[in-house]
Structure 1
Amino acid sequence: MQLDQDSQKLCILKLLNGLEVTNRDCRLRVTRAILYLSQGVFGECDTESDVLKSVRQNIFMLHKAGTFSALVDLLSMEIDNSQALSSALRKPAISLADSTELRVLLNIMNMMVETMCHESEDDSKDWILMREAFRKELGSPVYNNEPFAVLLFTMVTKFCSGHAPHFPMKKVLLLLWKVVLFSAGGFEDLQEAKVCQRQELGLLPMPEDSIRVTRGLRASSPPASAADLIDQQQQRRARRPKRGLAKQDSLDAFNETDPYKSDDIHDDEDYGDENDSGIDGEVDLLERDEIMPPVSSAMGEKLVFPKGLPWAPKVREKDIENFLEMSRSKFIGYQLGGDTDTIVGLPRPIHESVKILKQNEERVEQTPAETLYQGMLPNLPQYMIALLKILLAAAPTSKAKTDSINILADVLPEEMPITVLQSMKLGVDVNRHKEIIVKAISALLLLLLKHFKLNHIYQFEYISQHLVFANCIPLILKFFNQNIMSYIAAKNSIADLDFPHFVVHDLPDLTAESLEAGDDNQFCWRNLFSCINLLRILNKLTKWKHSRTMMLVVFKSAPILKRALKVKQAVMQLYILKLLKVQTKYLGRQWRKSNMKTMSAIYQKVRHRLNDDWAYGNDIDARPWDFQAEECALRAGVERFNRRRYESASRALEFSAVDTCAQSVLGHTSDLPEEFNVTYERWLEREVFSDAIRWEELLQQ
């Protein structure tokens, strides 16, 4: 750090030259030196802020020198290293030592991508331009004509197939998630893309920003114990005024009424649930002030939120057709059979939907999501199966089996612990290792689903079907079929060992008591983030899919989801209530009667749609004999889409007729390279004229 900028650049270039040496040990020393640079040369820093500042400066110079591309080439070589693969396959137990080179490379890449993701007010113009160039580079097919994420997906499938058991999956999955997040964009970028698409289609702006609404549903207090929850329920009931029975106001499209103003009239009644697997009574949900807290203005006055649901109602094409047919049949006495053009006097959403239907010209724009889908398409089913296999192995409810994959290759040491303290520390590392894997996979799957849905609906349906075929729905339900409160309140982190705190402060004495106590946080944001992501994935897989909704019913998800409602976090509760809403019509009248608090919470806090009769089971689409045909029709449509857009050119070459006529083949004119024209006479002399032709041998054959 004491060198001038030119000397620092020269030092980096010399290190990059060291990556080209054939000696494996020398190459490993060079990569470790680059890793030390990417970590901010922390040995010469006094504070954590100095380390982070040095990290950004060094990452800037490393990327400017072309370090990332050199690391990708080295990573590709390590992936195909036959010696390391065969050694790992022969060993009975895999440990940290088997993935040293890969972990060093992945650590450097993680540092570079993570640093590039975060913007700072102090960023210079050169830094901003470099970040955008790096973002385009990650999303473009520049690494072996494929995006960099496809290379990481290949590592995941090799690991799950058993051909490379030493791959450090936690680091691979973290890097894969960050690469997709940075190259394709996060949730804010998705929201901006939605707004731009509506403008291009000539539609009115969206009535709400889903991200802002979701963030408005803030968490109340952290998850409490069972005794605390009972005390909170009793205090709330004591504060509520006694009311007589009153007719509850209904909702309309403009949210003019307040669905929160009527308390549940069954508060003092004890409704049991016969199918609740030991859950007694109803789960107390967040009150209105916990979901939408009042905000005070600068003058100290209390601001009042608009009455009604935070969501505006939605409508889809099938709702439009059904609504038009029912209206025409009721008021006019005739039907037009699928006519959506006669829309005079109908609501605005119907006008917008018809306008979209008429704009059906296909235009393929090479967005990062489109490029990623093209790269993933040949092996997408294998990618999804591999991710779910790892998610199953990392789930807390999964039991160790002899045939299951080993996801602990990059956390287990060569020598197992011999003291109680070492065993406790390893236990914390193993649990944290699994939690990070679940976090990375859940965030990655959610990002893929959201980006592909915005890019093209059939891309979303293709990845959704393969997730469903790979038993993603029962896997997520299995994940939640645990003590979810204990999982979210888990303390599997040692704050004193986190970077950069660990490298600039003296390490305190770790004892069994300090490890057991954990940190001061009352709940783990990492596990809460994973749970919300998995719930959102489950919502996206089952939305408007009756066959998949029936899977929720068949696997008895209602009591599992109701137990998860004990977590006092508004966003998580919202997605749980959405999952309960879509299956209430199949759960029967007795279930709805025994769970009136849950029904009331769904009515108050979940978005409703046109002609939404979720609480009565009168949906004309809810016919079990149509479920299989529905999935088959969707699969056929997805396959036609993939063949039309992605396989037409390749299949045309693959299935074209082969010309076996000698005269026809020799009659074609072919462009020969310049080297052939120069050396043709020498080749003719060597291969033809200098060799005697033995015609008698030819005739004897």
Structure 2
Amino acid sequence: MLCDVAMDANGNGKRDPLHGGPVYFNRRAASNDESNRTTDLEFVYDDTDIHANEVAELYSYTEQYELQLNLKAFEDQMEWYKLRPWWQNLTKSQQRSVIYKLLDQLEVSNKQLRMKSARCILYLAQGCWAEVQSDKEQQDWTRTNVMLLYEAGIFPAFVELLNIEIENSTTATSAIRKLAVSLADSIDLRVILSVLYIITEVMREELKNIEHSEYKDNVEAFKEDLVNPYGEELLIVKLLGMVTCFCSGSAPHFPMKKVLLLLWKLILVSLGGIDALRELKKQYREEAGLDTQQEDTIEVARMMRASSPPMSAADLLETQNQKRNNRPFRRSLMKQSSLDDPGLGMEYEGGEPPNNTTANEGDGELIVFLGPGGPGGWNQTYYEDQNNQSQLRPGTPQLIKGKGLPWTPKVRQKDVDTFLEVARMKFVGYKLQGDRESLAGLPQPIHEGVTTLKKHMYTSLAETQIRKEEEIARNPMSTLEPPLRQTPTEILYQAILPNLPQYMIALLKILLAAAPTSKAKTDSINILADVLPEEMPMTVLQSMKLGIDVNRHKEIIVKAVSAILLLLLKHFKLNHVYQFEFMSQHLVFANCIPLVLKFLNQNIIAYIEVKNVIPILDFPMCVIGDQPELTTESLEIGHSQSFSWRNVFSCINLLRILNKLTKWKHSRIMMLVVFKSAPILKRTLKVRHAMMQLYVLKLLKMQTKYLGRQWRKTNMKTISVIYAKVRHRLNDDWAYGNDLEARPWDFQVEECELRTCVDQFNNRRYSSIPRDEEMEPIDASVTSVLGANVELTEEFKQHYELWLQQEVFQRSINWDELLDPTACEI
């Protein structure tokens, strides 16, 4: 459903005869616009790409030669065991025997023998690719071998190897002294991380069909292991520590791409992805007594169609000239290019827009937008008067019929309270603090408006949690603290809480270094240490290959970091809103908002269509069968898809993060305005993908009132798409209110209050600082006080008889006075 300006036969804007303002009406999109459909991206948003691509992205093209080292280590080891180097011909018992021997070898003091054993295990985890004939066969053997390795205890053994390499100060010192760190500096770490990643990725893939999996016990045990410390800390915390050390410069040789990919998959397996979040949200809302029948944003967005991007100024002038010269009024309107889903199209019952759409007086702009009709349906009119004040008028007669909008409109309890307060002051002249039911003295339309608002009122889980925290803060002694639920998210939050600010800064530093809009600086961190070879390429072909590899490397890092941040934000918000707010504030303090805008401030179409991939060099294609000769032509082929999955995925993740950080936060919305995000976001609308456009439109909607009336006049088509695609808040004046004088510091009080609430929450639940004894309840029971164990000092024990003589025998006690409560001195 779109709102367009009505035009007369001469191409001029049609004026409302009653008010003089332009008339907006809903226009129907052409349902047979096949040209628009064919240009939509066939991208399906999910937790990850397909399993084969996720494994292939673990390896850089410059690492290809190391695959042969794994095979050579395996053949040598099998010869040492006096066995044929043919894994498939061994029985299960022989295979297990070999794995246990390799596991024993991992514990020897000789590092060369340890790493030789590690390479053998990596070859097994890679599916014994020298013995297979197809990708499918290699994946099957990877799955089988990974389960054998996990059952033998390889995963914790490699975590211990990782600890040894992290603490290897010799390697770190050598890397710091080098002018250029290369692949050779991280060779052992990359072997260890690769084994850990492959096991995790296979378990994640198995988790998707766990109910029908023969390895169900292994997968569940693996998930349980991840929320328990390996040694002193969680593996996720250990990897975050590696990221921090890398960014601080104390460990420049850490292979960041592999670290981040492993970190992402560990979070995904232990906490859960899209489906797990949906189920957790339903469970938590049900426990809180809230409605669970709500649309899922991702599911609804998958069913939506993309909108055509707003036309440029030149195209707009040309289109208007064509309308003026060739088309009558009504026909010109119905044939405009579609901006929305044809299924959402609306039309007037009488064929022409009625002139009596409202009975309001005064000069202003009128816009009518309607939702589903019939019982329980809603419709409303906004009217913007001369003072730029918008009013909600629920219950407007149904003027337009059609399918309606993709979302059920919502309203918050706070908005209902505000509506009642304004109505009472206007019609009655007084307030009723805390009264949400009394409507005495209010006219019938207000009654209908309150009924409509309450029918669509939505209480979020976050509001319930905040109310509980406010109650605890008001009555700390009488309000019981709810027991901590030891969920995987809660365990992870407690583990990363002490160093969470440093983790967020480190992740954003890496994201900045990997962004295509970032310029190379001599003092920036080197995220290419695990992709650059020791010897730089000498030929044009080698240079082209390395260039593609470097760009691919950066894209994978952006994909991993964006997924990590989004997953943590989503899970923390479900677990407790103040955990989410704590992480959000530190992201904002670390300049996450301008960083994401900087990332989006590029040619997004070119970014999502770029093909930084060489299919014949992807694992396992690069080692199975006869290898074709690498030529300049083969480097330019790329995949058959018209877009890069990982780049579209990264863009959507970053837009979702930006939405999470700014929703309902006025100071952060003002940051979007100050950093001039509107033109950047408008360019992003050129990507023909409904979900990406939805998150862009949400960001534009929240800042529209700060952009001014002139911006709205010149961006009416964007406003129309927002009406069609974004959920309506029934009494939100986003499209009509003007707040041009607002500045970021005007809303800093909100941030300070939020910071205070978050600090109180963290100190109360997780701080080891002892509480104020004066605020603690007093134990007045004689039995418990006399029965308490008192630790006596050695000095007191030595002089016990002297204490009895001075304090007991020589001191007279008036028991009557002691027992008289009125005689006690306070």
Alignment partner, residue 429 of structure 1: 549
Whether the aligned pair in 2 keeps the contact of 1:253 and 1:313 (CA below 8 Å) is no
For 1:97 and 1:311, locate their aligned partners in 2 and report how far apart those are by CA, in whole Å. Answer: 54
For 1:137 and 1:629, locate their aligned partners in 2 and report how far apart those are by CA, in whole Å. Answer: 43
Distance 1:348 1:200, change over 3 A: farther
Q: Aligned with 1:504: secondary structure?
A: coil
Q: How does 1:273-284 map to 2 (within 5 A)?
A: none
1:627 Cα deviation (Å)? 0.7
Whether the aligned pair in 1 keeps the contact of 2:372 and 2:403 (CA below 8 Å) is no
Residue identity opposite 2:646 in structure 1:
R
> Is 2:246 aligned against 1:127?
no
Alignment partner, residue 335 of structure 1: 431
Question: What per-residue deviation string (whole Å, max 9, x for no partner) do you get for residues 89-112 of structure 1?
Answer: 111110000001110011011100
> Is 2:640 aligned against 1:520?
yes
Alignment partner, residue 285 of structure 1: none
Whether the aligned pair in 2 keeps the contact of 1:256 and 1:308 (CA below 8 Å) is no
Question: What per-residue deviation string (whole Å, max 9, x for no partner) do you get for residues 443-468 of structure 1?
Answer: 11011110000110001111111000
Alignment partner, residue 416 of structure 1: 536
For structure 2, the 5+ residue unaligned runs are: 1-87, 324-330, 337-350, 358-366, 380-400, 440-446, 470-480, 774-790, 799-826
Alignment partner, residue 95 of structure 1: 182
Q: Aligned with 2:636: secondary structure?
A: helix
For 1:491 and 1:449, locate their aligned partners in 2 and report how far apart those are by CA, in whole Å. Answer: 30
**Structure (1 or 2) with the larger CA radius of gyration:** 2
Alignment partner, residue 677 of structure 1: none
Kindly report the root-mean-square deviation, in angstroms, between the aligned alpha carbons of the 2 structures: 3.6
> Is 2:567 aligned against 1:447?
yes
For 2:772 and 2:97, locate their aligned partners in 1 and report how far apart those are by CA, in whole Å. Answer: 51
1:68 Cα deviation (Å)? 0.6
Quick check: 326-335 or 401-410, which moved more?
Answer: 326-335
Alignment partner, residue 416 of structure 2: 320
Residue identity opposite 2:131 in structure 1:
E
For 2:153 and 2:211, locate their aligned partners in 1 and report how far apart those are by CA, in whole Å. Answer: 20
1:324 Cα deviation (Å)? 3.4
Whether the aligned pair in 1 keeps the contact of 2:609 and 2:644 (CA below 8 Å) is yes
For 2:546 and 2:196, locate their aligned partners in 1 and report how far apart those are by CA, in whole Å. Answer: 26
Q: Aligned with 1:502: secondary structure?
A: coil
Alignment partner, residue 382 of structure 2: none
1:7 Cα deviation (Å)? 1.2
Residue identity opposite 1:118 in structure 2:
E
Q: How does 1:629-640 map to 2 (within 5 A)?
A: 629-640=749-760
Question: What per-residue deviation string (whole Å, max 9, x for no partner) do you get for residues 186-209 of structure 1?
Answer: 011111111111211222322322
Alignment partner, residue 64 of structure 2: none
Quick check: 180-189 or 114-123, which moved more?
Answer: 114-123
Whether the aligned pair in 2 keeps the contact of 1:255 and 1:308 (CA below 8 Å) is no
Whether the aligned pair in 1 keeps the contact of 2:176 and 2:250 (CA below 8 Å) is yes
Question: What per-residue deviation string (whole Å, max 9, x for no partner) do you get for residues 277-307 of structure 1?
Answer: xxxxxxxxxxxxxxxxxxxxxxxxxxxx982
1:22 Cα deviation (Å)? 1.2
Alignment partner, residue 342 of structure 2: none
For 2:377 and 2:416, locate their aligned partners in 1 and report how far apart those are by CA, in whole Å. Answer: 27
Whether the aligned pair in 2 keeps the contact of 1:42 and 1:504 (CA below 8 Å) is yes
Residue identity opposite 1:131 in structure 2:
V
Whether the aligned pair in 1 keeps the contact of 2:515 and 2:554 (CA below 8 Å) is yes
> Is 2:520 aligned against 1:396?
no
For 2:430 and 2:218, locate their aligned partners in 1 and report how far apart those are by CA, in whole Å. Answer: 63
Alignment partner, residue 370 of structure 2: 251
Whether the aligned pair in 2 keeps the contact of 1:385 and 1:467 (CA below 8 Å) is yes
Alignment partner, residue 136 of structure 2: 49
Residue identity opposite 1:250 in structure 2:
F
Q: Aligned with 2:89: secondary structure?
A: coil
Residue identity opposite 2:620 in structure 1:
P
1:326 Cα deviation (Å)? 2.9
Whether the aligned pair in 2 keeps the contact of 1:446 and 1:533 (CA below 8 Å) is yes
> Is 2:282 aligned against 1:195?
yes
Quick check: 197-206 or 1-10, which moved more?
Answer: 197-206
Aligned length: 614
Quick check: 557-566 or 414-423, which moved more?
Answer: 557-566
* TM-score, normalised relative to structure 2: 0.69
Alignment partner, residue 244 of structure 2: 157
Alignment partner, residue 137 of structure 1: 225
> Is 2:672 aligned against 1:584?
no
For 2:608 and 2:272, locate their aligned partners in 1 and report how far apart those are by CA, in whole Å. Answer: 27
Alignment partner, residue 8 of structure 2: none
Distance 1:132 1:219, change over 3 A: farther
Q: Aligned with 1:68: secondary structure?
A: helix
> Is 2:491 aligned against 1:371?
yes
Alignment partner, residue 117 of structure 2: 30
Residue identity opposite 1:500 in structure 2:
P
Q: Aligned with 2:508: secondary structure?
A: helix
Distance 1:221 1:170, change over 3 A: farther
Distance 1:351 1:584, change over 3 A: closer
1:185 Cα deviation (Å)? 0.4
1:42 Cα deviation (Å)? 1.2
For structure 1, the 5+ residue unaligned runs are: 261-304, 654-661, 670-701
- Aligned partner of 2:612 among 492, 502, 505: 492
Alignment partner, residue 13 of structure 1: 100
Distance 1:342 1:504, change over 3 A: farther
Whether the aligned pair in 1 keeps the contact of 2:412 and 2:458 (CA below 8 Å) is no
For 2:532 and 2:761, locate their aligned partners in 1 and report how far apart those are by CA, in whole Å. Answer: 45
Quick check: 210-219 or 609-618, which moved more?
Answer: 210-219
Whether the aligned pair in 2 keeps the contact of 1:539 and 1:579 (CA below 8 Å) is yes
1:569 Cα deviation (Å)? 1.0
For 2:316 and 2:641, locate their aligned partners in 1 and report how far apart those are by CA, in whole Å. Answer: 18
